[in-house]
Amino acid sequence: MKEDSEVVNAELLTTNKLSELACLALYLMYEKKQGKKSFWYPFIRELDRQRGRGQLAVESPLLWSESELAYLDGSHTKAEVLGREEGIKREYNELDTVWFMAGSLFQQYPFDIPTEAFPFEIFKQAFVAVQSCVVHLQKVTLARRFALVPLGPPLLAYKSNCKAMLTATDTSVQLVVDCPYKAGDPIVVWCGPQPNSRLLLNYGFVDEDNPYDRILIEASLNTEDPQYQEKRMVAQRNGKLSVQTFLVHVGREKEAILEMLPYLRLGCISNAADMHSVISSQGPTCLLSPCMERAVLDQLVNYFEARLVAYPTTLIEDEDMLADCNLDPKKRVAVQLVKLEKKMIHACLQATYDFIHELPDDTISPCPAPFMPQLKI
């Protein structure tokens, strides 16, 4: 792009009018209108052929139909997709403002203002095409962590656990491989520390051997608790929020439960002197009575069981579907995603049962705890 374009682009970003991806999507649409006259025509032609499809020839869920998004029922990823689409819609609604603010930037394009020249669906497709070409660079500063590689997705296969990676020099992005390749061999590249939900959203694939996969659990202090404000301050002093997100990493589900327990126990405490001790405690032991500890653990059991019930299929049914070689590609990646999520939730459930069995008497009934923190399904 020209130097003056970069200056205006930076101004748009600093005023929070458009994200970097939206700015690039806007340029992409205008350049595509120019057809073969555009300097970027060879890259745009490749982006059109690719259409945001990843290595499994699956488009980002941002381009799926409503019936196809139903494949993600029960998964928090579906809400993430819908939220991302709403964000793209908000940026689309800002395009005309940007066009008028930076009129000189678009003088080279003899077309109408953005929302008259391009319907929302076209903008979303351009956004997804740009998004699918963003790659993580290694051994660079945070400001240079991402780059656009238009030919990356169709020529590379991304993996989460390989050592080949894309790196940056002063003038270019280079692929550094970790083994010799023969002509025709597929090139596999590390895709960065991204969970499967992000890989599906950005690139249209799921990695079943992803060591960076995770699910999120949102807990919040009960606002109806008479001691809510006091507990909120105690939580903040211990690095937690009144609405706290916990990350459950694959293979580390037990550690995630241990991190959550002090926060959940805080809701059961009525003695202000014990609040700090409870939330700052480490390990499975605490100041709660056995029946109160059972109430906390039972809450987790009920939560994980409710999350599993929210999925329309079971793990066994997922495995049966994946064994079908004729399964629709979009449904295949969706089933892969929800299957891996369920495995993490099952592991969390098992870890919680293990803590119950470690109680002095695991048959004890839970104490009433009306103001326990709330877990979002």
* pLDDT tens, residue by residue, 343-356: 999 999 999 999 99
Q: What is the pLDDT of residues 126-153, one digit of tens each?
A: 898 888 887 777 677 776 777 777 666 6
Task: Judge whether residue 186 has pLDDT over 90.
Answer: no
Rounded to 5 degrees, what angle do the CA atoms 209, 206, 163 make? Answer: 50
Q: What value does the mean pLDDT of the chain take?
A: 84
Q: What is the mean pLDDT of residues 202-215?
A: 93
* One-letter-per-residue 3-state SS of 2-62: CHHHHHHHHHHHHCCCCCHHHHHHHHHHHHHHCHHHCCCHHHHHHHHHHCCCCCCCCCCHH
Structure-token pair, residue 356: 């119950």
What is the structure's pLDDT at 8?
Answer: 41
Position with higher pLDDT, 243 vs 23: 243
- What is 214-375's CATH number? 3.90.1420.10
Sign of CA dihedral 347, 352, 355, 359: negative
- pLDDT for residue 293 is more than 70: yes
pLDDT at 10: 45
Residue 2, pLDDT score: 39
CA 333 to mean position of chain CA atoms: 15
Query: Which of 329, 333, 324, 76 has its CA nearest to residue 208?
Result: 333
Domain regions of the chain by residue span:
3-132, 135-203, 214-375
Measured from the Cβ of residue 60, the count of other Cβ atoms closer than 10 Å reads: 25
Helices (H) and strands (E) in the chain, counts: 16, 9
What distances in angstroms separate CA 262 from CA 219, 270, 282, 376, one per listed residue?
Answer: 12, 14, 8, 17
Name the nearest CA neighbour of 293 among 249, 356, 240.
Answer: 356
Q: What is the pLDDT of residue 95?
A: 83
Q: What's the pLDDT band for 5 if we cut at 50, 70, 90?
A: very low
Residues 333 and 125: their CA atoms lie apart, in Å, by 20
